[in-house]
Amino acid sequence: MSEELGITVKKDKDFSEWYTQVIQKAELGDLRYNVKGFIVFQPWSVLSMEKMYKYMEKVLQKKGHKPYWYPTLIPEKNFKMESEHIEGFTPEVFWVTSHGNNEPLEEKLALRPTSETAFYQMFALWIRSYNDLPFKTYQRAQVFRYETKATRPFLRSREFHWIETHCAHATKEDAMKQVYEDMETTKEVLHDIYGLPFIFFERPSWDKFPGAERTFAADVLNPDGKVIQQPSTHLLKQSFPKAFNVKYKDKDGIDKYTWITCYGPAISRIFASVVIVHGDDKGLRFPWKIAPIEIVITIIKPNKKLIKEANKIKEKLEKENYSVEIDSSEKNPGEKFYFWEMKGVPIRIEFGEKELQEKNLVIFRRDISKKEKIEQNNLIKTIKEISSTYDKNLIEQAEKLFNNAIVTANDKKSIKTAINSGKIVKCEFCSVEDDGKECAEWIEKEVQAYVRGTKLDETEKPEGNCPICGKKATKIVYIARSY
């Protein structure tokens, strides 16, 4: 079989081309839609992302978030009510300015780049008393941002699919509890279900969400040494509830402003990390829980009898709630195997005349790329055993790569060397407030990397000086290149 049908480059040698080929050949997204920066999501990505949404929404609802559907359009006046927010997002906004035969609208409307200014307008109408708090909401939606940088499918697009939560609280302490809960949710879903190792950083003052008092974000590593920001959670400044008049009456009947938090897991962007982190030189490797299908039965030299028996196996598996597909195409066996390995299906069952006669099956596992022969009557037992360890294997493999990518650097030269070799740098740093911005700008200019922030780890305490300016270090920060 021609290797042109599979992935033709090594992931660690040419990551960019590897990623492009996986998107195209595994049929995840089609870039030929004729609006720049927008892609058509194809069934193989949609089926996986639907499962990703299911797990994320299940956890959010379990923790008290209620689902809402908000309009896609936001009036311009809403944005203007919080100055930092509009300043931060205006360059990325798609504006709707006319209707019908190019008739101008009375007011410009934004295609939502994010929905703070839509949610909080309604919060002011719904929240009355301390009994209404915490008020925990979320929506599953698409958002639109005019990215000026080069777009990459799923990684950086002008339309992406996400969940955003917005919660109002009585006190700042309660709001911070929500921020920590958001980080725990990220661990429960992003790590434990999607299988993605990450570090949650508190962003420095110059890299906070527009209008946030504190911003925390999860960074996932790419094999090319760049990190991808995944879910972020924010304690918003009081300027938001004050601008939108989001108040409540406390137990003494006194009006007080709420404290608001927001959290944004971008499912389509997280999907990119699933592809990137778990994929190998053969293509995709989906975690069991979010695979588009879990099992494919490939029939060797199909005929009516084999197809009939394969369908019996399929029915047996489906009774156990496994998702199964049969490949009864006329392609040669090697071509079929190559195709389904590229598509990242966790288990392939090989079934032909020999297996039929011997009442055996050949099972191939995508997580460890190994085959084993089993008796047909042991099929369900074998699948249960594999499914119970499958995601653990992927997580362990991913964590090993992630942890090995973090190195400590103590001077400018070692920072440059480590970043250029695709590492995340841990180092002491003068400050993550505005007075440290000059050192961060040196890193950005000279190393083409960024201060990602500080870990929420009280055991990480600086003892020396900042390697950039030489001043006494106050924090330990992590530096990396990013998308």
What are the tens digits of pLDDT across the range 56-67? 999 999 999 999
Strands 226-236 vs 475-482: parallel, antiparallel or unpaired: parallel
Helix H or strand E segment including 427: strand 424-429
Residue 84: the pLDDT is 85
pLDDT band at 1 (very low <50, low <70, confident <90, very high): very low
DSSP 78: H
Q: How far apart are the first and last CA of the chain?
A: 36
Residues in the chain, total: 483
Adjacency order of strands within the sheet including 370-375: 324-327, 295-299, 347-351, 360-365, 370-375
What is the rounded average pLDDT for all residues in the chain?
Answer: 95
Residue 3: the pLDDT is 46
Rounded to an integer, the average pLDDT of 111-126 is 96
Residue 344 φ then ψ, to 5°:
80, 20
Residue 86: the pLDDT is 81
Higher pLDDT pick, 437 / 222:
437
What is the Cα Rg of the chain in Å? 25
Dist CA 290 CA 195 (whole Å): 10
DSSP 471: S
- Identify which of 143, 139, 135, 188 has the alpha carbon closest to the alpha carbon of residue 161: 143
pLDDT tens digits, residue range 183-193?
A: 999 999 999 99
Dist CA 189 CA 477 (whole Å): 25
Look up the pTM and report it: 0.95
Strands 347-351 vs 370-375: parallel, antiparallel or unpaired: unpaired
Residue 145, pLDDT > 70, answer yes
- Identify which of 260, 232, 256 has the alpha carbon closest to the alpha carbon of residue 175: 260
- Identify which of 247, 257, 244 has the alpha carbon closest to the alpha carbon of residue 128: 247
Distances (CA, A) of 248 to 121, 170, 255: 14, 8, 6
Residue 87: the pLDDT is 85
pLDDT band at 430 (very low <50, low <70, confident <90, very high): very high
Residue 381, pLDDT > 90, answer yes
- Percent over 90 (pLDDT), the chain: 90
Rounded to an integer, the average pLDDT of 428-432 is 97
Rounded to an integer, the average pLDDT of 203-210 is 96
Higher pLDDT pick, 201 / 79:
201
Q: Rank 72-76, 153-157, 459-463 by mean pLDDT and report only the highest.
A: 72-76
Residue 258: the pLDDT is 98
Residue 210, pLDDT > 50, answer yes
Q: What are 374's strand-pairing partners? A: 361
Domains, the chain? 3-278 (3.30.930.10), 295-386 (3.40.50.800), 406-482 (3.30.110.30)
Rounded to an integer, the average pLDDT of 399-408 is 92
Distances (CA, A) of 477 to 31, 218, 235, 462: 37, 14, 20, 10
Dist CA 420 CA 411 (whole Å): 14
C-alpha torsion angle, residues 340, 341, 346, 349 (rounded to 10): 60
Residue 2: the pLDDT is 42
Residue 330, pLDDT > 70, answer yes
pLDDT band at 89 (very low <50, low <70, confident <90, very high): confident
Residue 173 φ then ψ, to 5°:
-65, -40
Residue 186: the pLDDT is 98
Helix H or strand E segment including 381: helix 379-404
* CB of 41 closer than 8 Å to CB of 29: yes
Residue 224: the pLDDT is 82
Which has the minimum average pLDDT: 196-205, 220-229, 288-297, 428-437?
220-229
Helix (H, G, I), strand (E, B) or coil at 453: strand
Going 417 to 156 to 285 to 181, the CA torsion angle's sign is positive
| Owner of token pair 């084993």 | 372
pLDDT band at 4 (very low <50, low <70, confident <90, very high): low
Helix axis angle, 379-404 to 267-278, nearest 10°: 90
Dist CA 59 CA 53 (whole Å): 10
